[in-house]
Chain A
């Protein structure tokens, strides 16, 4: 042990105490304070002291989902960024890549997550889903089918669902911006 202890004396440069703040916590602080979001996206912290649980509201200003406000819940665990954030859609919405339970089909939330990605990348990815819904990777198969087979009907369904309409027996949440 003596050898190790003597090493420490010679390593003054590196010998600085680090904070007790966990790596996950610092990383979330860094991610959040460095978010670079357009005006169409807004975060909300139910408890501003809790940086690990919050919501993101996306209000697309173009595309077929324009006029809606879509809310996603973010839950970050203490193993971030090894583990990706858990993101769910908090409303029942009509979207080919979001199912009725709020699961979202976005590659960087699962199979393509890497610790070098950050919250900003996830948020930008989510917004993209509203600008360019993707019928090839469906989670809501009915919606995806409609989108590729009958685009006009699909657009109508989107509008109807956003007003809180009922499509094929499914009641959607009203998401219109008040």
Chain B
């Protein structure tokens, strides 16, 4: 494809009439670094490479918005296939697509609808990809429904940041919705608060005391949990419950309904049973549209510098009017992912683990007592419990260089540290 300052050969005159109004001129709140005109357009349309995580409710919206705003090189990862219950909001999918991979169907749809946009799908897990894969993107937008996937992505991007290489900083824009509520946030790894910093802000799914479930049920949910938490393993042993299998849901529903009848509790339905065991979160097209648009708008502003970007958290509640709250979520010093200290250490390749520990303890500036050490793949020396101390004790006499490769990382924990300290080891001889 021929590279043109204003886009690609598939563009037609007037295509970017709307977008170009904000790319040709700065506004009153635009940063002076903004390169109005061809400079910013060339970057956006010919160079920028953006990754979308998730091709579900938010993902479909995100892909369409990015394509229309002029991003031409978009990648998307999703491990799921299309289910009929997606069709009330995931608008790139049709009845005939049920069972197909979301990433592939979404990518094809966008490429067919928006000429000249390349969308590269990956049907699989984010954990399948390595650092080099993530390093190729300028920006990452997450439209995920899993805390665990977000934590992984966040930690990976924080880890990618290399002080020597500014381009290793990959802004992560994260959206999430629940019914009429949602949030969008901008995470600049190591600069702003990260996903892990706000872990305690999350709403936990409602859990009920297990003894209530077993003995004094009052709510239909108690009966359903009785069926899924206590009766399923009792009756089916090790057979895993598949919440996508209608036969399994049907069984749980019957058991829960009988339990409810016994205790004269009303309200156990098929739908509630499924909702409780799958922890279904209500989801609608409109809320997803709002949050996805907010995320894409931040991506566009960051990529183009055409306007200030969100600092750093936008929360929306649409149940009573339209209430929103924009605020700066603070970075946490004791965040296990982006907080704490990091040290570059150059040591002799002859130094033993025991000597390394002594060196750490003697360091005036970090105040460590009784440190435990590990690499990303193995424990080096743990102070406790006794069994692990004993198991790792032989390592004390080993050379650091036997256990940690040059440039390798060591995680240090100790009661005296806010959370942990990370060491990057290089060898002098």
Residues of chain A touching chain B, judged by Cβ–Cβ distance below 8 Å, are 1-9, 11-12, 14-27, 29-30, 32-35, 37, 42-45, 48-49, 51, 78-79, 82, 97, 99, 101, 103-105, 107, 109-111, 113-116, 137-139, 141
Q: Is B148 an interface residue (CB 8 A)?
A: yes
Across the interface, which residues of B come within 8 angstroms of A116, CB to CB? Answer: 200
User: Number of contacts between A and B (CB, 8 Å)?
Assistant: 189
Query: CB within 8 A of B420: which of A30, A97, A115?
Result: A30
Q: Is B413 an interface residue (CB 8 A)?
A: yes
Query: How far does the Cβ of B2 sit from chain A's closest Cβ, in whole Å?
Result: 23
Q: Which single residue of chain B is at the shortest CB-CB distance from A42?
A: B385
Provided the pairs A4-B188, A35-B385 are in contact, do residues A26 and B167 lie with their beta carbons within 8 angstroms? Answer: no
Interface membership of chain B positions 393-429, coded 1 if the CB is closer than 8 angstroms to chain A and 0 otherwise: 0000000000000000111010100011010100000
If over half of A's interface residues share one DSSP class (helix, strand or loop), that class is named, otherwise mixed; here it is loop
Across the interface, which residues of A come within 8 angstroms of B267, CB to CB? Answer: none
Query: How far does the Cβ of B173 sit from chain A's closest Cβ, in whole Å?
Result: 12
Q: Which single residue of chain B is at the shortest CB-CB distance from A20?
A: B376
Q: Are B382 and A32 in contact (CB under 8 A)?
A: yes
Q: Are A7 and B188 in contact (CB under 8 A)?
A: yes
Interface size on B, residues (CB 8 A): 74
Q: Are B376 and A19 in contact (CB under 8 A)?
A: yes
Across the interface, which residues of A come within 8 angstroms of B57, CB to CB? Answer: none
Q: Is B388 an interface residue (CB 8 A)?
A: yes
Query: How far does the Cβ of A129 sit from chain B's closest Cβ, in whole Å?
Result: 12
Query: Can you give 30 contacting A-B residue pairs, CB < 8 Å?
Result: A1-B138, A4-B171, A6-B166, A11-B191, A14-B190, A16-B341, A17-B342, A18-B337, A21-B374, A21-B376, A21-B411, A26-B411, A29-B372, A29-B382, A30-B419, A33-B383, A33-B384, A44-B387, A45-B387, A49-B378, A79-B147, A82-B199, A103-B230, A111-B206, A111-B207, A111-B209, A113-B207, A137-B211, A138-B214, A139-B211
Q: Are A8 and B169 in contact (CB under 8 A)?
A: yes
Cα distance A136–B338 in the bound complex, in angstroms:
44
Across the interface, which residues of B come within 8 angstroms of A22, CB to CB? Answer: 152, 155
Query: How far does the Cβ of A171 sit from chain B's closest Cβ, in whole Å?
Result: 16
Q: Are A1 and B388 in contact (CB under 8 A)?
A: no
Q: Are A18 and B338 in contact (CB under 8 A)?
A: yes
Q: Which single residue of chain B is at the shortest CB-CB distance from A5?
A: B166
Cα distance A65–B65 in the bound complex, in angstroms:
64
New A-B pairs, 18, CB < 8 Å, besides A48-B379, A105-B210: A1-B43, A16-B341, A17-B162, A19-B159, A19-B376, A19-B422, A21-B422, A23-B151, A25-B374, A26-B413, A27-B336, A29-B374, A30-B420, A32-B382, A33-B383, A45-B387, A78-B148, A111-B206
